[in-house]
Structure 1
Amino acid sequence: MANTPTDLDPTVRVRFCPSPTGNPHVGLVRTALFNWAFARHHGGTLVFRIEDTDAARDSEDSYNQLLDAMRWLGFDWDEGPEVGGPHEPYRQSQRMDIYADVAAKLHEAGHAYHCYCSTEELDARREAARAAGRPSGYDGHCRELTAEQVELYVQEGRKPILRFRMPEETLVFDDLVRGTLSFDPKDVPDYGIVRANGAPLYTLVNPVDDALMGITHVLRGEDLLSSTPRQIALYRALAQIGVGNGSTPRFGHLPYVMGEGNKKLSKRDPQASLNLYRERGFIPEGLLNYLALLGWSLSEDQDRFSMAELVAAFDISKVNANPARFDLKKCEAINAEHLRALAPEDFCARLVPYLQAAGLLPAEPSAAQLELLAAVAPLTQERMVVLGEIVQMAGFLFVAPEDFAVDPDDAAKVLNADSRAVLEASVKALTELADFTPEPIQAALREALVDGLGIKPKFAFTPLRVAVTGRRVSPPLFESMELLGREETLRRLTAALELVPAS
């Protein structure tokens, strides 16, 4: 399904605005994916904006991790860091003068007021409201202070926050995912937009940037739904003071991503970390394919699809509002499908960093090493779930002879007294073999072990696999022997005899 003329709308402008506070998590990636797909489907603009106004939590290292993650995932953006654009800068920490100016205008126009309530006073009034069965949000205590009351607070040395004045009307909007939603004014109290130290809060900076950057659609997590009526009121106030183009974005709130025990997947959950998936060897195509399924589907009978297919078919109205559970097994299965679909040269190239990280390949692999990798890759591609498995699957081919070691657990299970005859017969058969290629190797070993010793193939070949590759799970045995070569194969079989206990 390709974009139809009615789908294309170059006026669409969406934004992805994460905070640089630690490595990205998969829920954040899913939000980025849906914004990217929405923009690309409509031929619109994706604005990548950095929400870094919290100096205590944000870091430059996390900022660089964020950009690196976006590049690794294959997301391109039309405005933002490293790209620029007409609304620079795109880091909120560099836009403080803008927020201060807007806050002052909101205050001057009566859309915001100074609130001198202390934390203790707020807590006490909230507790009293709860005890009386009333809403426990801010009660408007400072909404209409007289000049005398303000002066008393000032003399006490109180530093006020700036609080936005919510309209006393029901706020209704059409959510792109959830349909029509309404919020009673008693449930949406006045809220802070500037701290007492003058630092702007998220509640101010994001709507201000959306207004100034002409954002038309806001696609974000369900956890931010409760802040939407407050922001809609602020957009309207911004329009009245001449900030932005006067329009309010349309909102779509994406479903929660649930983890184990049907709890919301949090940044602290180990399986939430994007870095974990990169390190294990998930590829962007597989991971993004799976994340797209957390609330959306291409069709009932197609789980695997490309990013081009996602973009062509993406419809925000088809996103399911119900929570989506993160299923690691299904994520792995889809990634394995994408691995198998890679072209051989591409698959090989993606394996190199994992072998390098394990010390099995140097920074600049030799032609012979790359040739060996190209030879073993087809033997592993159908068997792998993630790229990182290449280290265990084929590391035995790249390790120096003196560093090769058999897995102790596999050795204990397989290299027993009964294996001695198998190993000895194999050494003899392979030593005498003229053509050291898979078919002759298999024929010689079958004759020596199955026919000669009367051992079933499973019991005959498993000790050989462990002796030669170091593990019970490996690429095909006879092809592995060919790649190792006769000399190294025989050396490993002979060395394995030393691990076999005396009968």
Structure 2
Amino acid sequence: MTTLLRFAPSPTGALHLGGLRTALFNHLYARKLGGKWILRIEDTDATRAVPGSVDGIREALNWAGLEYDYGPEKGGPHAPYFQSERLDLYHTHAKKLIESGHAYRCFCSPDRLAATRESLARVGSNATYDKACLNLTEEEVARRVRAGEKHIVRLNDSNLPHRSTPPDLIFGNVRDAHASLPTDPVLLKTDLFPTYHLASVVDDHSMGITHVLRGEEWLPSLPLHLDLYACLGLHPPEFAHLPLLLNPDGTKMSKRKGDVHVADFMKRGWEPEAVLNWLALAGWGVQHDHPASSPSGHASHGLFRSTWSAFKTAPSSTTVLTMSDMIRDFDLKALTHRRTVLDPAKLEILNKQHLARRWNTPDGLDELAGRAHGLIKDTPYTSQAYIKKVILALESRLTNLNALPAHGAFFFEDPDFTSSEARGMLKGVSSDDYQSSRQSAISTLTAVAVDDWEKVDFNLLLHEECQAAKIKSKTYMTTIRYALSGVKTGPSVPDIFRVLGRERSIHRLMSAPAFPERGV
């Protein structure tokens, strides 16, 4: 059977990092096994739907380079890919469950259900419903349905077939937590839309899903889903529940909290490869001893041996991985069982390295320069060739492309000599040494021919001039850096010369303040 996975978000808001990691792992696992994956929109709760969510999810996946094989806008053999367009399929399976005695219609009003829950809780019962509608006669049910009475369809948990609980591909053998489930869980709501439980089981079967990779939060629902497969006489897919990602403060990542939406990372200029690398390494690289097997009892073809299996220690959490690296080495058995905190500092490290990988290729540098163009104010110095020079000059300091205007502002506009940083640069430099250094540098650079500018060894040239002028090297270079940039740190003075060019470099030295105002 061809390996087929699915990423099934609900359109209740922007895609967050946890969702992106789930999509990534589905992508990696499918590609690792030579299979495909589906984007399926689980929109059965219209009250929670947020307009534009689906477009946002697709845009985020496209930005990350996670291309699904079938789904909205692409079509495929399993269409439609919106659950709201598959209602007849859910109704058919609900009817089958009713006819087999595994489900029944419940006509209890919301007020009666609430009162029943309170009454059961007062007597110390773990039940959440008293099964009042289970024993209605067929005639009574038919009459009330014909009369148009609102009702729901419940699973009959007192009539469940025997089944096993296959090992989870990550957690291994898990406890069958039936006790945590509500009494006779709802399968169809009064609006005739299915709950997640019925819809996901029916869709995973009808679409031919072989592996379900989803968040750990669905692990308590696994017994219910396995019950539904058994009641319908269907073979379940293999399940892998991904441990949750946590915010830096240790709280659960949620769409309702800031700084976790993928769109925010897109706007802030993070490289998609770095974000995926960061998410992939969060909790990846441990070893477990549990034997995992398929529901049939045979070793699962999905539990391949990967290169990580040979590692005695976990890979570094800042190891740079490309998409092909991740596909090659991904192993569900190497995921931690613990929830993992995402460390923003590690994203910065990875982003810097992925930026370097990109600007070290001609096409990559062109692409970065094109993106950076929109970040820069309207100045005469925004050509693609010029921006490429700026990126390369700033490379050791640039952790995020969006920071280019801040780190390299002096490349695009004249230095701000009134800033506190600029005023503090010349503390301890005498006025005579400042003037002598500036004039020496002007004379030296003026003597360099235009055609020789790119060939000159400025380090050697400035060192010789500094010695000839009998000025301390630190004083000499600080003066030049002050005149060129007005900032203490940044690219080397020779690199600034090469980016600015001969004319602008000399002009800045000549137009720098004759008697700089200094900080206290």
- TM-score normalized by the length of structure 1: 0.83
Residues 272-316 of structure 1 deviation map (CA, whole Å, 9 limit, x = unaligned): 222232233322222212211123224434522222122122222
Go from structure 1 to structure 2 and tell me whether the alpha carbon gap of 1:484 and 1:266 turns closer, same or farther (over 3 Å shift). same
Paired position in structure 2 for 1:369:
383
Q: Indicate the RMSD between aligned Cα atoms, in angstroms.
A: 3.4
Residues 435-483 of structure 1 deviation map (CA, whole Å, 9 limit, x = unaligned): 25685644565566677474452x6544643542354342222221232
Residue identity matched to 1:414: M
Q: How does 1:111-122 map to 2 (within 5 A)?
A: 111-122=102-113
Contact 1:355 1:395 in 2 (8 A): no
Task: Report whether the alignment pairs 1:411 with 2:404.
Answer: no
Equivalent of 1:266, from 251, 254, 257?
A: 254
Paired position in structure 1 for 2:10:
19
Go from structure 1 to structure 2 and tell me whether the alpha carbon gap of 1:419 and 1:322 turns closer, same or farther (over 3 Å shift). farther
Paired position in structure 1 for 2:166:
173
Residue identity matched to 1:429: S
Residues 199-233 of structure 1 deviation map (CA, whole Å, 9 limit, x = unaligned): 32222222111111011111111011111111111
Residue identity matched to 1:160: H
Greater shift after overlay, 448-457 or 188-197?
A: 448-457
Inter-partner Cα distance in structure 2 for 1:46 and 1:256: 21
Go from structure 1 to structure 2 and tell me whether the alpha carbon gap of 1:489 and 1:207 turns closer, same or farther (over 3 Å shift). same
Instruction: State the Cα distance separating 1:318 from its structure 2 match.
Output: 2.4
Inter-partner Cα distance in structure 1 for 2:377 and 2:518: 34
Go from structure 1 to structure 2 and tell me whether the alpha carbon gap of 1:51 and 1:467 turns closer, same or farther (over 3 Å shift). farther
Paired position in structure 2 for 1:345:
362
Task: Report whether the alignment pairs 1:282 with 2:270.
Answer: yes
Equivalent of 2:410, from 375, 396, 417?
A: 396
Task: Report whether the alignment pairs 1:359 with 2:373.
Answer: no
Residue identity matched to 1:425: S
Contact 1:465 1:471 in 2 (8 A): yes
- How many residues are aligned here? 481
Instruction: State the Cα distance separating 1:347 from its structure 2 match.
Output: 3.7
Instruction: State the Cα distance separating 1:88 from its structure 2 match.
Output: 1.0
Identity of aligned residues (%): 33
Give the secondary structure class of the aligned counterpart of 2:249: helix
Go from structure 1 to structure 2 and tell me whether the alpha carbon gap of 1:447 and 1:118 turns closer, same or farther (over 3 Å shift). farther
Paired position in structure 2 for 1:46:
37
Q: Which runs of 5+ in 1 are unaligned?
A: 1-9, 240-245
Instruction: State the Cα distance separating 1:265 from its structure 2 match.
Output: 2.1
Q: How does 1:131-210 map to 2 (within 5 A)?
A: 131-135=122-126, 137-146=128-137, 159-166=150-157, 167-168=159-160, 172-183=165-176, 185-188=178-181, 189-210=183-204
Q: How does 1:438-477 map to 2 (within 5 A)?
A: 441-442=458-459, 445-446=462-463, 452=469, 454-455=471-472, 457=474, 460-462=476-478, 464-477=480-493
Go from structure 1 to structure 2 and tell me whether the alpha carbon gap of 1:164 and 1:482 turns closer, same or farther (over 3 Å shift). same
Q: How does 1:231-242 map to 2 (within 5 A)?
A: 231-239=225-233
Q: Which runs of 5+ in 2 are unaligned?
A: 286-307
Residues 326-373 of structure 1 deviation map (CA, whole Å, 9 limit, x = unaligned): 1111222122222223333244234234423323479xx99x822223
Contact 1:430 1:444 in 2 (8 A): no
Residue identity matched to 1:465: R
Contact 1:465 1:474 in 2 (8 A): no
Q: How does 1:215-226 map to 2 (within 5 A)?
A: 215-226=209-220
Give the secondary structure class of the aligned counterpart of 2:52: helix
Paired position in structure 2 for 1:7:
none
Give the secondary structure class of the aligned counterpart of 1:163: strand
Go from structure 1 to structure 2 and tell me whether the alpha carbon gap of 1:36 and 1:360 turns closer, same or farther (over 3 Å shift). same
Residue identity matched to 1:98: L
Greater shift after overlay, 352-361 or 253-262?
A: 352-361
Residue identity matched to 1:226: P
Instruction: State the Cα distance separating 1:498 from its structure 2 match.
Output: 7.5
Paired position in structure 1 for 2:334:
318
Inter-partner Cα distance in structure 1 for 2:81 and 2:354: 34
Instruction: State the Cα distance separating 1:485 from its structure 2 match.
Output: 2.5
Paired position in structure 2 for 1:214:
208
Inter-partner Cα distance in structure 1 for 2:190 and 2:218: 24
Residue identity matched to 1:359: I
Go from structure 1 to structure 2 and tell me whether the alpha carbon gap of 1:392 and 1:129 turns closer, same or farther (over 3 Å shift). same
Contact 1:281 1:386 in 2 (8 A): yes
Give the secondary structure class of the aligned counterpart of 1:501: coil
Go from structure 1 to structure 2 and tell me whether the alpha carbon gap of 1:13 and 1:425 turns closer, same or farther (over 3 Å shift). same
Go from structure 1 to structure 2 and tell me whether the alpha carbon gap of 1:93 and 1:449 turns closer, same or farther (over 3 Å shift). farther
Inter-partner Cα distance in structure 2 for 1:451 and 1:139: 98
Inter-partner Cα distance in structure 2 for 1:499 and 1:350: 43
Inter-partner Cα distance in structure 2 for 1:498 and 1:464: 13
Task: Report whether the alignment pairs 1:327 with 2:338.
Answer: no
Residue identity matched to 1:173: P
Equivalent of 2:222, from 213, 224, 228?
A: 228
Paired position in structure 2 for 1:428:
439
Go from structure 1 to structure 2 and tell me whether the alpha carbon gap of 1:100 and 1:150 turns closer, same or farther (over 3 Å shift). closer
Instruction: State the Cα distance separating 1:493 from its structure 2 match.
Output: 4.3
Residues 50-105 of structure 1 deviation map (CA, whole Å, 9 limit, x = unaligned): 22333343345221221121122111222212322111111223323333343344
Inter-partner Cα distance in structure 1 for 2:21 and 2:518: 57
